[in-house]
Structure 1
């Protein structure tokens, strides 16, 4: 019969269970461990008053009927228990793992597996190779591939230890006979010429015998050893992560960090946490606003306009402590542009802002508004500016088909060109591996004046059917890795944070997600209007799992990145195109949009407890004031842009007398 209900073991006992004495690997230390806090994990009988440990006892083995975890389950009980044992050991509950092994009769792995693991970690290569066959690795199931990985590690360690004679013997007698790829074998043979271990590690992309390379080798060898024999590392954790990833993909409004996930319930994000209302309208520009860019700390927003100015906006007022508080202020207005401003880019430390106007690039001190330097190396309109991911400089692209890499002081470091396209935009992947450029094929006609701005305005090419291309370059070698010809206009490109994808606006009326490894479009987002103007899109949300874009119908469109599902159509801007959107890099519940209506809108999630009107009701408002006012946020609905108070916190929205007016105390360029 099972133990009495007062004993902790009764929690899992049923009348059908039988127990029998089994070997116990536990000693008095385990009993002491579970009694040190005065009770047994909150269940069962308390320990004696003085906290003394009970005498050691054997663990009764439990024999359960069947092999499934539950009667209605397809999960194998042995597999489940072995994974639990592995997990307990991984987190340090070694005695608990041993207790479960004794009670269940299952062991995590055979002694041969533990020996093999130790052979690899200790560098006992002959013993490790001999153990492969005993672990079930056969010639037709990767035996030679596994032996190659072991011999390669052995070879690299000999080269690192400056034992070239022995390394050559391994190369000739062990690696070469395995019929490895000739190019890879040539690379390995060249490593023997490395004069310093550090040079070897750099060229081989290998961290050495004292690094993590042996553990990495062990992980690679898991592929060839049956998983039932050698359980993959942290297998339970991997399964949980897969479940989390699946739930995240199914959660179309996912916008929360992984730390908020719980194992106790399925993950679900509410639409109420998604930015759908305008909380602030920024009005100082007196002409179309073509581009916007957040600082990396998310505290500042830069805007570029057809009125020949760029503005640095700051949230919150600290200039005049006696002034009424305001959500946003135009901190600096940068006026020294001879032409409309098209492009913007912040340095990684947010101290320098780059702007472009026609063929000119200007470097600004973002704290004082002082123009540091004016660069005029390009001969046609600069259509793209991007800081390099390491912060050492920036890259510009233009309709003159040139790509120029500058250092952080504005001096030319390198120049490419002429390229195959008249560049309309470019982006560098965060891992500094690829530069993705888009543009018109060079044989096309020169753009008209309206299309040469590099910002909003007409699509470059004046609507002519000129073929466009996406070209992927290797940043280090300048080698062209891929080139994809497309029939429609390509107006903007942004790369994902994992450096694997590029988001490209493609007229008419499409946005494409390109896989940079495959050089092909893997998702298409449709619904917005784009045919005549330069429209810029971006990734959004905490994991970049939204795609957001402006549109020529004065609305903002948002899609679920994984599925392509259209989530939101947000009205609010006045007549004309919404030219650019930008998601705040530090606040996943905020983005900005700019428009031909001369304004910039800040979009945020509604305050707690506020119900969101459905999309049909939202579209009935000619201005976001109708929506915000209807939510009780202090806005005045039904008016033209510029009439309502849309702070979202009851504060007066930012207003000004056009580009000529600088808010009190704000600096001028």
Structure 2
């Protein structure tokens, strides 16, 4: 026994009202139930009529048409007035001349609201005529329906709509207008947009019960501090409140990687989650293969390549979008490595000072580098220079690109240029340079300055959208997967969460220690709802992103700072940390009783794992082991 695919508010797929198999003929035989009061149960805030109407709507939405009609008859509550159904069907069928006069009957009486609603209907009509190549009729709609109804705020949109007359065809029109056409979902989207002007008591928003249940799920997820499970029927049930088991949180070290001979300053996972790259003061980077499957004790864990050809300690790491290239930085140099062979592909020397940021663009078009020399450089996939932003306002200490490829967020120190020889008076002695600030990678970060800033750029135009002065050193920045939040390590002893949508400081995370070194934090978990950071007290700290609650302080690393953390992008219950103790730790949920901790060091019998690339060498600078 089949039925047509359910459509919101109980309409069939062709847009006609459906009461279901002739039930209307014997609805009169169903006795109406009269109940005392007007509220649901004993709750004074839940109106019974609203609840029943939502149940009727939900039954129709999922295809139980006869049950919905029976409930209407038994309760005496109608889902909606006839003119509401009529209006909805006119919109879905594109009968614009019949739909527009009904707006006043549906409660749209405010003059401005009426103008806005008519403009939306006229816009849909105009686009559909253009799509059907009826240019003359579309021009008449533009002149007669849109121009008279447009408000001051809509004048710019009116100019954009006018330019669509020049589209080469329907496909070009849909692309330029970001519109999916008359046969797509645009008419249903129009109904959603018109809903803002029609009282919800008259026309119930589509799938309202589903919206309320989604809000309930999001609320429960927000309340679940250890939430790290997928949003499916196994993790969320209507029969019980959601709560993740805190014991499933990755708080146990299951693997210790011990190959580096000195401090490890940075770690980064490949996009497929199967490899981990590490950077060290020992002038090497290592590409590790970390298996995703199996128990920790049996998991494949190999140092595939040790990239030795760095003339200086290695500071930054970044994987290309397809994981075929690993870019590393050593002082002012950028090195590109083939991750399949471990061979050095290219050495780039565009910067004059320490390269402090490497980030591959999410669209796969290349990567960007930032440096203490106040330059941000855009490179293509082959390492050819495409564009250089010179003389930026800060000595860049880190940078990140939003996943939607719209913004570049850079953090750094203000620039205090020293006086030139020509500006010194006769007999005047040049003042000594300001003290150097360590970047935690052994490189000097340049003169200390009170003008520490976060700068948000429009990536396409290079224009500054936001420039915020901050007290204290800014050492790293990460962007959330939804492009909304920027996570900034801020010395002393704070991590700041900036809302890039509202351009405001959303939250501060405290508890960790950072006063002298570069510490790099990250987002973690299946929804990015954890904030994880290293600390100068040798611990790893974990907070709940939306509440700021400190969840875990993880011990295990030896003496020195935990410099960087990285969450596995594929296995959401695994992350890695690296430390001055020369080790990298992989953290996972507690292993079963008797499971042994996995340790790893390079066997002498595997020389083929050593990278063979060549690089330039010069005498390394003097540094102070990452301490001010």
Aligned twin of 1:184: 157
Aligned twin of 2:59: 88
- Pairwise CA RMSD of aligned residues? 2.8
Aligned twin of 1:238: 211
Secondary structure of 2:575's partner?
strand
Are 1:266 and 2:209 an aligned pair? no
Return closer, same or farther for 1:418/1:274 CA change in 2, 3 Å cut-off: same
Are 1:492 and 2:435 an aligned pair? no
**What displacement does 1:532 show?**
1.1
Aligned twin of 2:611: 668
Secondary structure of 2:461's partner?
coil
Question: Following superposition of structure 1 onto structure 2, how do residues 521-536 of structure 1 map, counting pairs within 5 Å?
Answer: 521-536=505-520
Aligned twin of 1:205: 178
Secondary structure of 1:173's partner?
helix
Structure 1 stretch 371-380 or stretch 496-505: which is displaced more? Answer: 371-380
Return closer, same or farther for 1:124/1:26 CA change in 2, 3 Å cut-off: closer
Q: Is this contact kept in 1: 2:372–2:446, CA < 8 A? A: no
**What displacement does 1:375 show?**
1.8
Return closer, same or farther for 1:282/1:175 CA change in 2, 3 Å cut-off: same
**What displacement does 1:258 show?**
1.3
Return closer, same or farther for 1:354/1:527 CA change in 2, 3 Å cut-off: same
Are 1:136 and 2:107 an aligned pair? yes
Return closer, same or farther for 1:459/1:98 CA change in 2, 3 Å cut-off: farther
Return closer, same or farther for 1:520/1:458 CA change in 2, 3 Å cut-off: farther
Are 1:474 and 2:458 an aligned pair? yes
Q: Is this contact kept in 2: 1:275–1:604, CA < 8 A? A: yes
Q: What do residues 478-518 of structure 1 show as CA deviations (whole Å, max 9, x unaligned)?
A: 22211111121111001111111100111111110001122
Aligned twin of 2:280: 305
Are 1:510 and 2:485 an aligned pair? no
Aligned twin of 1:643: none
Aligned twin of 2:7: none
**What displacement does 1:193 show?**
3.3
Aligned twin of 1:285: 260
Return closer, same or farther for 1:87/1:459 CA change in 2, 3 Å cut-off: farther
Question: Following superposition of structure 1 onto structure 2, how do residues 294-443 of structure 1 map, counting pairs within 5 Å?
Answer: 294-316=269-291, 328-443=301-416
Q: Is this contact kept in 1: 2:19–2:65, CA < 8 A? A: no
TM-score, length-scaled by structure 2? 0.85
Return closer, same or farther for 1:29/1:519 CA change in 2, 3 Å cut-off: closer
Q: Which runs of 5+ in 1 are unaligned?
A: 1-23, 31-54, 319-323, 611-631, 635-645, 648-652
Q: What do residues 72-94 of structure 1 show as CA deviations (whole Å, max 9, x unaligned)?
A: 45322221121112112222222
CA distance in 1, matches of 2:601, 2:143: 77
Q: Is this contact kept in 1: 2:451–2:469, CA < 8 A? A: yes
Q: What do residues 55-74 of structure 1 show as CA deviations (whole Å, max 9, x unaligned)?
A: 99943332222222213453
Q: What do residues 558-608 of structure 1 show as CA deviations (whole Å, max 9, x unaligned)?
A: 111111111111121111111000111122221110011111111111135
| Aligned counterpart for 2:553 among listed residues 569, 572, 577 | 569
Aligned twin of 1:456: 441
Aligned twin of 1:622: none
CA distance in 2, matches of 1:93, 1:353: 56
Aligned twin of 1:545: 529
**What displacement does 1:459 show?**
7.2
CA distance in 2, matches of 1:247, 1:459: 46
Q: Is this contact kept in 1: 2:229–2:526, CA < 8 A? A: yes
Q: What do residues 544-568 of structure 1 show as CA deviations (whole Å, max 9, x unaligned)?
A: 1010101111111111111111111
Aligned twin of 1:149: 120
TM-score, length-scaled by structure 1? 0.80
**What displacement does 1:205 show?**
2.2
Q: Is this contact kept in 2: 1:525–1:564, CA < 8 A? A: yes
Secondary structure of 1:238's partner?
helix
Secondary structure of 1:426's partner?
strand
Return closer, same or farther for 1:265/1:664 CA change in 2, 3 Å cut-off: farther
Secondary structure of 2:101's partner?
helix
Return closer, same or farther for 1:448/1:534 CA change in 2, 3 Å cut-off: farther
Return closer, same or farther for 1:415/1:506 CA change in 2, 3 Å cut-off: same
Q: Is this contact kept in 2: 1:459–1:489, CA < 8 A? A: no
Aligned twin of 1:558: 542
**What displacement does 1:434 show?**
0.9
CA distance in 2, matches of 1:551, 1:447: 29
**What displacement does 1:339 show?**
1.1
Aligned twin of 1:618: none
CA distance in 2, matches of 1:458, 1:354: 18
Are 1:229 and 2:202 an aligned pair? yes
Return closer, same or farther for 1:666/1:380 CA change in 2, 3 Å cut-off: same
Structure 1 stretch 395-404 or stretch 127-136: which is displaced more? Answer: 395-404
Aligned twin of 1:627: none
CA distance in 2, matches of 1:219, 1:457: 56
| Aligned counterpart for 1:654 among listed residues 593, 597, 600 | 600
Return closer, same or farther for 1:553/1:239 CA change in 2, 3 Å cut-off: same
Aligned twin of 2:143: 172
Aligned twin of 1:75: 46
